[in-house]
Amino acid sequence: MNYETTLTGESSAILVDDEDRIRRRRRLLIIGGVVAVALVAAAAVLSMRGKDAAAPDAAPQAPVVTVLTPGQTMVASTVSSTGSLAARVDMPVGVVGEGGMVTRVLVQPGDWVRAGQVLATVERSVQSEQVNSLAAQVEVQRANAKLAQAQLERAKALVGRGFISAADIDQRTATRDQAVAQVRVAEAQLAEQRARTGRLDIRAPASGLVLTRTVEPGQIVQAGGGTLFRMAKDGEMEMQAQVAEADLATLRAGNSATVTPVGSNQHFSGRVWQVSPVVDPQTRQGIARIALAYNDAIRPGGFASATITSGSGNAPLLPESAVQSDAKGSYVYIVNGKNQVERRDVKVGQVSDTGVAITSGITGAERIVTSAGAFLTVGQKVKPEALKAR
């Protein structure tokens, strides 16, 4: 029994020693691998530093810039302005006759009316009775004229028998003529009173659109008492564009324009129909009146912006990114024949969605840097690359 126990103990000790040796070997292998990787990395770093140190004076690579040769493009000259909307012919409508109490108002703002249409009526009971009285007077005078004519005819029949003298005939003829004249006077008085009564109706002076109403039934109105309605003749509208003095000189009647009311994304075409002959001495602005067709989005009294085409011409057209500016003004960078950057001062013309028109400074045959100009310096060497058409 003791012998077997001794053998078993020795075997266990041998097994423990083998496992320790295996663990130490694995640990050494791992450490060796880490050291090898570190040595390789260090060698790579030293190699890169060596290359950098070997060529400290190597020239930097020229940056690539996109260039454009714009040529000449037909560019419309436009004037931008703002102003108010109004009726082209604003007609105030008031009391024409003697006035009185308003009995009915027959239209509302926004209604279309024809020339002579009744807008409101005024109480006329007294005037109606006067018309009836004068109409009766006309009938009386007509009866007198008829009687005078009958007496004249009877007298003419008796002249041949010697019962009536020629003087009596003349007298009766005068009486008949006087009666006929009285009929005409009575008819004229009746027509006058009817006209006066008719003037109590407040009528539209022309066809158009009712803009405002300031009268209600029961209101007392009188001649010279103010405006009861405002109308836009034929519904025509206009924009009264405020234009700077310098731009006003370039505008003519007939110039086309595009008007955009504030708060709307709709654009309306119109034409300048009048250019102000005077300039406000305070604001140094004049008014260009742009005629517009009726549209319910164009409301008199509103505000709008306008772009007026004042002419056209040929000019280089550049993207906005190509034009730089500083304290000296606007400029562009061009690439010369040696692929070096040059500054060229320019004068900017019309700016639109299609680009910026250049009125002077370049001819359009130059290679213009289209972008990244802020990162370039004059004289810098670059590698130009033509802008690809989209």
Where in the chain are the domains? Answer: 1-53, 65-77+315-386, 79-88+234-311, 92-122+203-233, 124-199
Angle at 213 between CA 211 and CA 214, to 5 degrees: 140
Strands of the sheet with 202-203, listed across from one edge: 202-203, 118-122, 100-105, 220-221
The confidence score (pLDDT) of residue 192 equals: 87
Least confident of 29-33, 178-182, 255-259, 274-278: 29-33
Closest by CA position to 259, among listed 227, 226, 231, 288:
288
What gap in Å lies between CA 294 and CA 115, rounded to an integer?
18
Of 68-72, 126-130, 163-167, which gets the smallest average pLDDT? Answer: 163-167
Predicted pLDDT of residue 46: 55
The CATH superfamily assigned to 124-199 is: Helix hairpin bin (1.10.287.470)
Q: Which CATH number fits domain 92-122+203-233: 3.30.930.10, 2.40.50.100, 3.30.365.10, 2.40.50.1070?
A: 2.40.50.100
User: Given a cut of 50, is residue 16 above it in pLDDT?
Assistant: no
pLDDT at 9: 46
- The residues that bridge with 330 in the sheet, in sequence order, are 325
Q: For the residues 244-253, what does the mean pLDDT come to?
A: 89
Task: Name the strand (E) or helix (H) holding 258.
Answer: strand 256-261
Give percent above pLDDT 90 in the chain: 36
Identity of residue 154: R
Identity of residue 152: L
What torsion do the CA atoms of 367, 368, 374, 378 make, to the nearest 10 degrees?
Answer: 40
| Average pLDDT rounded to a whole number, residues 65-75 | 85
**Is pLDDT of 160 > 60?**
yes
CATH of 65-77+315-386 among 1.10.10.10, 2.130.10.10, 2.40.420.20, 1.10.630.10:
2.40.420.20
Percent residues over pLDDT 70 in the chain: 83
What whole-number distance in Å separates Cα of residue 265 and Cα of residue 4?
107
CB distance 376 to 65 below 8 Å: yes
Nearest to 269 by CA among 309, 234, 227: 309
Beta-bridge partners for 208: 113, 233
Q: Which residue has the tokens 């320790």?
A: 20
Look at residue 269 and tell me whether its pLDDT is greater than 90. yes
Average of per-residue pLDDT across 95-118: 92
Q: Note the pLDDT of residue 28.
A: 65
Cβ atoms of 201 and 121 closer than 8 Å = yes
Mean pLDDT confidence for 362-367: 88
Reported as a pLDDT band with limits 50, 70 and 90, residue 260 is very high
Over 50: is that where the pLDDT of 68 sits? yes
Residue 337, CB-side half-sphere exposure with 13 Å CA sphere: 0
What band does 306 get if pLDDT is binned at 50, 70 and 90? very high
Q: Residue 155 has which token pair?
A: 């007298």
Mean pLDDT of 340-363: 85
pLDDT band at 15 (very low <50, low <70, confident <90, very high): very low
The average pLDDT across 292-302 equals: 91
- Asked if pLDDT for residue 38 goes beyond 80, the answer is no
Dist CA 103 CA 120 (whole Å): 8
pLDDT attached to residue 384:
87
Residues in the chain: 390
Place of tokens 């108002």: 105
- Residue 309: phi and psi, rounded to 5, are -85, 115
Structure tokens at 148: 């005078």
- Choice among 28-37, 72-81, 367-376 with the minimum mean pLDDT: 28-37
What is the average pLDDT across 236-252? 92
Please provide the average confidence, as pLDDT, over all residues in the chain. 83
What's the pLDDT at 229? 95
CATH superfamily of 79-88+234-311: Efflux pump adaptor protein, beta barrel domain (2.40.30.170)
pLDDT of 359 reads 81
* pLDDT confidence of residue 286: 93
